[in-house]
Chain A
Amino acid sequence: MQPFVAKINRFTLTLGVAMAFAAPAIAEDGEYGVLMKTLANPFWGAMSQGVEDGAKEAGVKYFLQAAESDQAAEPQLNLCNTMLERKPVAMITAAINSTNLLPCLKAAQDAGIKVVDLDGNLDQAVLDKEGIKITFRIGSDNVAAGGQGADYLVEKLGKDAKGPVLVIEGLSGNVTGQRRAQGFAARLKELAPGLEVVASLPGDWDRGKAASITNDILTRNPDLVGIFAANDGMALGAVEAVYAAGKGDQVTIIGVDGNSDAVKSIKDGRLNASVAQLPYLVGKQAVENVKKAIAGESITADIAVPTLVLTKDVLDAGKEPMLQYVK
């Protein structure tokens, strides 16, 4: 008997070590559940910082969890269901796609839990069909963010500028990336018809892939004048490829997010601009508005948090009041 017990002990000991990270959790009354896509990204990091500060100021308890990656659709659904076991009063969710959380959101609604769409990944038409009513939706207007990118490019090159432009999209099928790319392309057509989008390719949010795409297009269009990437990571990949090809002065590169890496690159004079979202503000306002909704106040169904074009001039001047929220 003894050796067997020793054997099991060794096993459980290791499990104990694996679980030593966990502190016993006790049910809190009136908790908010916050479910994010992933935390492995400064954008979501800033947003959870905003949630934390907002909750502190509002004096509410919350617990925040995230899936292991922004492609783990089913794990996120399972996580969402598990969070419901804790019976929160509200679920603030950033869904990985427009449908993966539907069963969980339905169950939350049936349990009388308020559901909030963080970052606008849910599709209103789908929600209507499923009979899910969300309390409100909060996030940046991604179409407008793409449009601001086009505004900046035209401002820099002039209305009559001519030349090929590359658009690097996000992950195929991701709504956020699609909206940004479409917003950019539509606005560019309107402002400067001479600037032609010669390619619009999915970079899968991946820095390396964006660099490869840039290389390929530079081979085809050596006179490229502009690149719009649907997020900063990809824009920075494009920057490296452009500078490696010795065309740093010829190509204007714009990203979206305003994350810390991009800010650093803009200050160094490499990346030209980033349309900064203010995830910190999104997280903070989400919590504040949930508190209001629970208190019975009526809330706007769609809360758009503004976006802000960061350039070297804007950053060096440091006068823009919104800059404090760029994390």
Chain B
Amino acid sequence: MTHETAQPGLWAWAQRTSVEQLHIRLESFIVLIVLSTVMAVLSPFFLSLSNFLNILLATSTIGVLAIAATYVIGSGGLDLSLGSVMGLSGVAGAYVAVNLGAPSPIGLAACILAGAAAGYVNGQLITRAFVPAFIVTLGMLGLARGLALVISDGRVIYGLPAVMVYVGQGRPLGIPMPVIIFVVTAIVAHCVLAYSKFGRHTMALGDSESAARAAGIRVERHRRVLYTLSGALAGLAGMLFMARINSGDPTAGLNYELTAITAAIIGGTNLFGGRGSILGTMIGALIMGVLQNGLNLLAVQSYYQQMAIGAVLILAVFIDQYQVRKESRV
């Protein structure tokens, strides 16, 4: 690759706009477009409204978890319990609604609350007991999954009330409810992270904790809020899947934490904190969604899909590092 010189015009504007104002990596967006084009050429089924909604529906749970991952990783933390908490919350909601006979709104709230509770415990242990986030959330990964299996006796809890099922299977205006909830959540999360004090503080924490402390940010309290938020979002993801299949499945979200982290990293979140954007993460999640959907349409074995996603992850970060190193040389 030749040395890049400053270029006037549209390209420079696009680069400045993308990086500085939207906080995304232009490359990942272009990869998404290229990937979609390739899939559209290869498969006659790819380009249709129903398939587009299908991709968004398939991305909805991972997408919500990836939002949580962006906040936590952006703040210099890590949450490995996302997938397990997602499973726990779906079981909790189904248990409250089916076994205890609570009305739908309480069942839905139970999902989010169960998730938030697990996240709150994570935050408390990390900030008050001084156990590293990696260890605490790894422990929670086992705790939450085990608890989900205990509550449900290892079986799916089937037969939710109608309103809960609507959240997963309803289609107002032809758009699946989980897609609507996912997109709205993503927009709110993007605005909060990019434009609010809370969002700026989150990234400041990841950039330099000591500087953040010096600037008067209440670091520990902020971290506790972040982990609780992360748990609540995992609870929301659990709620979406539970409602989709009309049952709480204790094995839901198995290994999803890693997929969510992958989406965030492809989308430009810095693994060591200080940088990240929800818009970027959504592009990362969609890259994986399009890749999976396209390869499924082409009837390619799922083994290859895992290889492709792994390759994309490493490449995305390689390109990122290449940019950073080149800029520092200039």
Q: Give a binary string over B314-325; 1 marks a CB under 8 Å from any A CB, 0 the rest.
A: 010001000000
Is A124's CB within 8 Å of the partner chain B?
no
B298 touches A24 (CB 8 A): yes
A22-B298, A24-B42, A103-B244 known; A11+B319 contact, CB < 8 A:
yes
Is B4's CB within 8 Å of the partner chain A?
yes
- 9 smallest CB-CB distances across A and B, nearest first, come from A172-B154, A173-B154, A18-B308, A78-B58, A82-B296, A99-B247, A22-B298, A173-B155, A68-B302
Is A26's CB within 8 Å of the partner chain B?
yes
B50 touches A85 (CB 8 A): yes
Is B44's CB within 8 Å of the partner chain A?
yes
Instruction: List B220-270 residues whose CB lies under 8 Å from chain A.
Output: 241, 244-247, 249-254
Instruction: List A173-221 residues whose CB lies under 8 Å from chain B.
Output: 173, 202
A99 touches B156 (CB 8 A): yes
Choose the segment among A1-9, A150-158, A292-300 that binds chain B (4+ C-beta atoms closer than 8 Å): A1-9
User: Which of A15, A66, A86, A99 interacts with B245 by CB under 8 Å?
Assistant: A99
**Chain B residue, CB-CB nearest to A12:** B34
B245 touches A22 (CB 8 A): no
Choose the segment among A69-77, A139-147, A261-269 that binds chain B (4+ C-beta atoms closer than 8 Å): A69-77
A74 touches B169 (CB 8 A): no
Is A98's CB within 8 Å of the partner chain B?
yes
Instruction: List A40-77 residues whose CB lies under 8 Å from chain B.
Output: 63-68, 71-75, 77
14 A-B residue pairs with Cβ-Cβ distance under 8 Å, sorted by A, are A10-B319, A15-B31, A15-B312, A19-B42, A21-B304, A66-B302, A71-B251, A72-B254, A73-B249, A73-B251, A79-B296, A86-B45, A126-B158, A129-B159
- Report the minimal beta-carbon distance from A74 to chain B, rounded to whole angstroms: 6
A24 touches B153 (CB 8 A): no
B58 touches A81 (CB 8 A): yes
Question: How many residue pairs at the A-B interface have CB separations less than 8 Å?
Answer: 172
A26 touches B44 (CB 8 A): yes
Instruction: List A94-119 residues whose CB lies under 8 Å from chain B.
Output: 97-103
Bound-complex Cα distance A83 to B245 (A) = 17
Bound-complex Cα distance A71 to B149 (A) = 14
Q: Give A contacts to B, CB under 8 Å.
A: 1-4, 6-8, 10-12, 14-19, 21-27, 39, 63-68, 71-75, 77-79, 81-83, 85-86, 97-103, 123, 126, 129-130, 171-173, 202
Instruction: List B22-53 residues whose CB lies under 8 Å from chain A.
Output: 27, 30-31, 34-35, 38, 41-45, 48, 50-51
- Report the minimal beta-carbon distance from B269 to chain A, rounded to whole angstroms: 18
**Chain B residue, CB-CB nearest to A33:** B299
Bound-complex Cα distance A99 to B51 (A) = 23
Bound-complex Cα distance A126 to B302 (A) = 29
A66 touches B301 (CB 8 A): yes
A100-B249, A173-B155 known; A82+B293 contact, CB < 8 A:
yes
B246 touches A102 (CB 8 A): yes
Bound-complex Cα distance A172 to B30 (A) = 44
Q: Which residues of A contact B31 (CB under 8 A)?
A: 8, 11-12, 15
B297 touches A18 (CB 8 A): no
A85-B54, A100-B245 known; A71+B298 contact, CB < 8 A:
no
Bound-complex Cα distance A19 to B312 (A) = 12
**Chain A residue, CB-CB nearest to B43:** A25
